[in-house]
Structure 1
């Protein structure tokens, strides 16, 4: 009962806040909308906005985990807030600020998706896919690409995961053993799942043999 009431209250607060932000956007009051976001980050999540902004996505997940239970609802709300902030900065022409906020949001959504978070506020998987599409014009940092590869593998998008892993390999961020481990893991998948992921078994085996040659 308590969790349901808490969740309903959070959804109501987020709906109200996002509605306010969207209304300010329509009125072209982008700076005022950004102030609403600052207030939202500072007062709604039990952490200061400064701390939320300074923590990495991984550390934020850790901070919002108690006794092994991740506060996924709260993290979804934070990710949604960063997504809105990214869109506001984009409309203002602040590309760097838009990228920073968008990157924070997409990494949180990918992590939520990886832990199987319930889509209580938004669908983390769909949000991650949408934001990755929006950010494809940018070169993602190596740590974000590593998370992206893990997320794509988890989603069964094996061909896309392979592409990202080879980018990391070419940039000498990872060793070929990590790509080999990826191939070995997915070899346990059924043929239908491999084909649906764009990487049939024969291509997986060929990729593994090529790395070992």
Structure 2
């Protein structure tokens, strides 16, 4: 309860800044809007947005951790700031930079989902992840985002999405062995699901079996290459 009250206060404070950012965006005062976001990030982390984007999500989460306790409220707020910055950059015709902000935001949320400290914020994280995934196309995502994304889709029961994301990884990752094994483990679980469960994930038993067969063939091929 304390964490949620604390989070709501932080979001309320940021909402005032965000309102000013939106006003300046509509008036195409992009530099002024960016300065507001930069100041907000400095207050949160002591870093400007360029440094935030340069750091890995692991490093950002370490900065949000005090005495071994991760501050999930600040993590959620940082993801909002990155999303707002992405919107601003896209409006300013700096789409690549904007997409990079979206990527960092969704990657942070995907990592936060598995943390005990973020349990109370599950609904808030889910809403933000869904919003970001409507903007970012999977084909544009780097492996560091695709890898937690496949686990997200699987845990959410979105099996077809998990399957598609797995094959994006397999197409791009030089070291496929780990992800072939992970994929086989995942699909073996799907094979035990009911018809209704598979249908909810937008798959059927035949499609699951085809995926399993394809992964087995890929593993056999990879094993042959390793023995050469």
* Pair member with larger Rg: 2
Distance 2:173 2:206 in 1: 26
Task: List alignment gaps of at least 5 residues for structure 2.
Answer: 218-228
Displacement, 1:55?
Answer: 2.0
Return closer, same or farther for 1:204/1:97 CA change in 2, 3 Å cut-off.
same
Displacement, 1:205?
Answer: 3.2
Alignment of 1:7-86 (within 5 A): 7-43=7-43, 45-49=44-48, 51-66=51-66, 69-86=69-86
Aligned twin of 2:188: 184
**Secondary structure, counterpart of 2:109 in structure 1:** helix
Distance 1:193 1:46 in 2: 42
Distance 2:65 2:169 in 1: 30
The TM-score normalised by the length of structure 2 is 0.79
Return closer, same or farther for 1:93/1:4 CA change in 2, 3 Å cut-off.
closer
Deviations 1:157-196 (A, max 9, x none): 1111101111221234433222212212434545432220
Query: CA contact under 8 A between 2:187 and 2:212: conserved in structure 1?
Result: yes
Displacement, 1:51?
Answer: 4.8
Query: CA contact under 8 A between 1:114 and 1:154: conserved in structure 2?
Result: no
- Paired positions, count: 211
Query: CA contact under 8 A between 1:76 and 1:124: conserved in structure 2?
Result: yes
**Secondary structure, counterpart of 2:134 in structure 1:** helix
Structure (1 or 2) with the greater helix fraction:
2
Asked if 1:169 is matched to 2:173, the reply is no
Distance 1:114 1:202 in 2: 31
Distance 1:46 1:190 in 2: 47
Return closer, same or farther for 1:193/1:19 CA change in 2, 3 Å cut-off.
same
Aligned twin of 2:151: 150
Task: List alignment gaps of at least 5 residues for structure 1.
Answer: none
Query: CA contact under 8 A between 2:53 and 2:101: conserved in structure 1?
Result: no
The TM-score normalised by the length of structure 1 is 0.84
Pairing partner for 1:196 from 190, 200, 205: 200
Deviations 1:141-160 (A, max 9, x none): 12211122121112111111
